[in-house]
Chain A
Amino acid sequence: MDYASTLPREVLVKIFSGLASPNPERLRNLCAVASVCPSWREAAKESCLWHYLTVGEAPLNVRLTGPRLRNLVARSHNTLTELWLAGCPLVIDTALARVVQQQPCLVRVM
């Protein structure tokens, strides 16, 4: 029996919040758990897991475009607090400007 998928959403979110600790692998970890099963995917969409967005690890960063960045940021439901980008050659000024202008909680962009 798949016990993990029977866990309540709140418990999964609490567990996944550990994956969302400040390290460069945070985004990869969240994407990985989101592709395990439908219940994990739903839990990984929780906005509180997306307050801090770190994109600095290949290959995610080199493939990141403006629309993809917008989609990732949209998961925070306008509660993005910190944005850290590194090695993202496809993201342009205007795309980033559009993203940050819609985030009232933003306190740091790196």
Chain B
Amino acid sequence: MKDCARISRDGLAFALCEAEDFQGVVAQLNDPRQSASDAQRCCVALRTLLDAEVEEAALAEAQAAGTLDALLRCAALYSSHAGVQAASCWALNLYVHVAQHTEVASFPHVFQAAVAALKAHPLDVNVQRAALFALCNACCFGLEGTPSVPGLLDAIPHVLAALRAFPTDLRVQEFGCDSLARMCGMDASVAEAVAADGAMGHFLKALNLDITTDGTLVAAVNAIGAIALAPAALPQASAGINAVICALRSQDKNLFAEAACKALGIHLRCFATRDRARHLSADFVINATVAKHNADAKVQNAAKNALQDPVV
């Protein structure tokens, strides 16, 4: 509710669950007599309270009230209720986001709650969106404490199932690709498993969605880059390179250009895919991108790194 001068967060929280601070809402959420729909409202209220302008103060209050534990408990308790799952995942998202700079960010339980939500409601688009975003945030801000490789491997089929179930939903595609890309960055065996499960096809589809915003495209290109070095992705490397080059020719946004240069650079600097990338003129396209985005330092830097010699 940005720039809505006559709306207050505590007023909205009170409208949702008749409590206007973290203590009150968490007390309600922890009440065993609470119904699922009331729990859902409490989760929405907590998300509203966390979305404050002064994040540090909101986080301190949330921590004092035990918000994270209450949300995780609620998510586990109402695992069969889609509304609670979606609302709790959105609230957990924001908690992770707010907490990223102010504490030792480690959110393995958020990761597990998101995977549980993905498993429990595979055909509910709202749950899938919220859970994929939570997964993405947990990977992004909580690298230190993320689950071990088996935990990550357990999440992969469910993320791919979401990408398969909602092929035209931009947010599912964006958060799904992004979370897979981040998981691949944690361990090489995860990248191998993602590639072996046929993720490249989903990334290519996401890259070809005709959209006005570039979030999905950037996430898809990052994901293609993330599995580029996995042996299981080698047979489809040419398709990936070609798709990135085609998208790069039609898109002129800096963020996308930077991500595409990085993805092409991974292919160019890998001995196994270098010849294919050069055959498809990836180096020429990167040079053309440098000329086109000559005012953007990030694109220049990504292009410069991409054109370096192969990694031995």
Query: Which residues from chain A sit less than 8 Å from chain B, CB to CB?
Result: 18, 21-23, 25, 56, 81, 85-93, 96-98, 100-101, 104-110
Contact = CB atoms under 8 A, between A and B. Distances in A.
Contact of B12 (A18, A81, A89, A100): A100
Contacts of A21: 170, 211
Chain B interface residue number, banded: 20 to 34
A32 to B, nearest CB: 15
A110 to B, nearest CB: 7
A22 B6 contact: no
Interface string B112-130: 0000000000000010001
Contact of A93 (B7, B16, B83, B213): B7
Contact of B1 (A22, A23, A85, A97): A85
B266 to A, nearest CB: 29
Contacts of A96: 7, 11-12, 15
A56 B12 CA distance: 18
Contacts of B14: 97
A89 B1 contact: no
State the 3 A-B residue pairs at the shortest beta-carbon distance, nearest first. A97-B15, A93-B11, A107-B86
A91 B44 contact: no
A104 B35 CA distance: 12
Contacts of A85: 1, 4, 7
Contacts of A98: 15
B1 A109 contact: yes
A110 B97 CA distance: 15
30 contacts: A21-B211, A22-B170, A23-B212, A56-B2, A81-B86, A86-B1, A87-B2, A87-B4, A91-B6, A91-B7, A92-B6, A93-B12, A93-B15, A96-B15, A97-B14, A101-B15, A101-B16, A104-B37, A106-B40, A106-B87, A107-B40, A107-B44, A107-B86, A107-B90, A107-B130, A108-B44, A108-B87, A109-B16, A109-B47, A109-B48
B126 A81 contact: yes
A80 to B, nearest CB: 11
A18 B167 CA distance: 13
B5 interface: yes
B6 A90 contact: yes
B51 interface: yes
Contacts of B11: 93, 96-97
B3 A87 contact: yes
Contacts of B294: none
Contacts of B51: 110
A6 to B, nearest CB: 25
Interface in B47-95: 47-48, 51, 83, 86-87, 90
Contacts of B86: 81, 107-108
A63 to B, nearest CB: 13
B73 to A, nearest CB: 18
A86 B168 CA distance: 26
B171 interface: yes
A25 to B, nearest CB: 8
A45 B306 CA distance: 50
A110 B1 contact: yes
Nearest to A97: B15
Contacts of B251: none
